[in-house]
Chain A
């Protein structure tokens, strides 16, 4: 189902959570609402679900205004950040809930409910916990049960609020990939809220970057990462080195100052100057833990550069603190806006 968000505004007291936000979501997309806390991403998700009402603007499902549609009739699957499983019901009853509360003429028989619940449990690979209570499950299991429960009503759209927010790193990674595969199989329009840029870049088809109640940029992961539309997006999607030196020549309007930035992994570290672009800097910090070695280096002008090099390069160069090295950008990106 396609969703159109049209100039939606929402305030909480003095705080403007959403400021004339507009967004188009196509059928079958997997979309990440990415932003820091307080950026309005969860509020937008809750307004789409009907759990909050917008002060101004419209939400259209498949071109139809939803203002008069109550939460219970919207047919959205909502997965809450803290799962919100019914604590007094077994896993089976949790998943069956949406089927049992259907009006009598639409309600499936007990046998059909049983079949459907087990089908969903198999889908989330937890068929063996049917008779347990939510308190007896791990965080990752609860998350998947919450998803199965939301799917039981065959929702037209799936909304997930920080779905991996309260899980530990290992489980997060697994569930992320699982959600991606799961979406590839079911193709249900899905929106998930996250403040983790890595998560958004890895899972989503399309990323909506939000800040202070407004949408900063909508685009594919490659798009928002490589062509950030604003300083905020640039900074939010990963560490960045901004060059304060300005080039006033060549390309385009002569004499016009150009701003540029380089991501940490786009800098080459060497013992000797490689080109005219190379900058001399002293290493102030090295963290070799992780897939990449993280280095901070300070130029003579006092600028701090964040650099990432591979473990192999690090071993080859035998870098140590206080070493003088040359940093050469592999790729410089020019910005159209002020940094």
Chain B
């Protein structure tokens, strides 16, 4: 039991301030989204979500996430495995590079792809010749999303894997397990909560990404609009009800993510604690 030194009035003041802040900046805007979306009745709300352009935006968002998240999962496991379990030349550089997408503005992340694959880019002639369209088409959206989200899984896994060390993998090998068996039966079960946590975060980011995607999308209705872009267009056209209806979908995604996140965090903390505990025995 920790000793509390703050007097009662201080505690109440602090809690009150925190709650007021949350009300103003979180609950109020969030409820505004739902109230505005449902402002003209439930029928209008559903109509806004089922019109062809909205459906196309939802579909593109889901497809993007379905491609970007599994790829990040693979990359994240590979990178964190390499970083946590092996020493190699250029490891620090790799760690820095993994963090790069988090430290540059998403607009830049989008621009990179315009510069690479756009009409002035080095690959433009070849792409033209073969009739492949990347910029202002779904491929660029998917690429930009992968770029923006790729550090997330790796960043979650590296600390867990580092804390757990190599002992169990070595034990598995001496017991006759192949590399794949070791990974599947020993490493993966030990990191599963951290992995799930990373996947959920990276999914939320993939579905909600605006900046990078906006630069490369071209905003073609029904074709290259993701949900966040669709919302922006509706809003700019003063179609507030439809904009908020679509926004409420993203808000719900955020809420589901938060709930899942806290459930996993609870399990994940136990996993991390166990890892740290065995570490301390050493």
Contacts and interface: CB of A to CB of B under 8 A. Distances in A.
Interface of A: 49-51, 71-78, 80, 82, 84-89, 97-98, 101-102, 135, 149-150, 152-153, 166
A102 B175 CA distance: 9
Contacts of B282: 82
Given A80-B167, A80-B171, A97-B185, A87 B190 contact: yes
B171 A86 contact: yes
Contacts of B171: 78, 80, 84-86, 149
B73 to A, nearest CB: 20
Interface of B: 167-168, 170-178, 181, 185-186, 189-190, 274, 277-278, 281-282
A82 B174 contact: no
A135 B189 CA distance: 16
A87 B176 contact: no
B89 to A, nearest CB: 14
Most buried by A among B185, B189, B277: B185
27 contacts: A49-B174, A50-B174, A51-B170, A71-B173, A72-B173, A72-B178, A74-B174, A76-B174, A78-B171, A86-B168, A86-B171, A86-B186, A87-B168, A89-B189, A97-B172, A98-B176, A101-B175, A101-B178, A101-B181, A102-B176, A135-B277, A149-B175, A150-B175, A152-B175, A153-B175, A153-B176, A166-B281
A129 B114 CA distance: 61
Contact of B176 (A51, A72, A80, A86): A72
Given A85-B168, A102-B176, A149-B175, 8 more contacts: A51-B170, A72-B174, A98-B177, A101-B175, A101-B177, A101-B185, A150-B174, A166-B281
A49 B173 CA distance: 10
A82 B281 contact: yes
Contacts of A86: 168, 171-172, 185-186
A82 B167 CA distance: 8
Contacts of A50: 174
Contacts of B177: 72, 97-98, 101
Nearest to A80: B167
B174 A77 contact: yes
B174 A88 contact: no
Considering the complex of A and B, which 7 residue pairs feature the smallest CB-CB distances, nearest first? A84-B167, A98-B175, A78-B174, A84-B171, A101-B177, A71-B173, A88-B189
Contact of A87 (B175, B178, B278): B278
Contacts of A49: 174
Most buried by B among A72, A89, A152, A166: A72
B282 to A, nearest CB: 6
B173 to A, nearest CB: 4
A88 B281 contact: no
Contacts of A97: 172, 175, 177, 185
Nearest to B281: A82
Nearest to A98: B175
Contacts of A73: 176
A101 B174 contact: no
Most buried by B among A73, A74, A98, A101: A101
Nearest to A133: B274
A50 B178 CA distance: 14
Given A51-B174, A101-B181, A82 B278 contact: yes
Contacts of B185: 86, 97, 101
Contacts of B278: 82, 87
Nearest to B179: A72
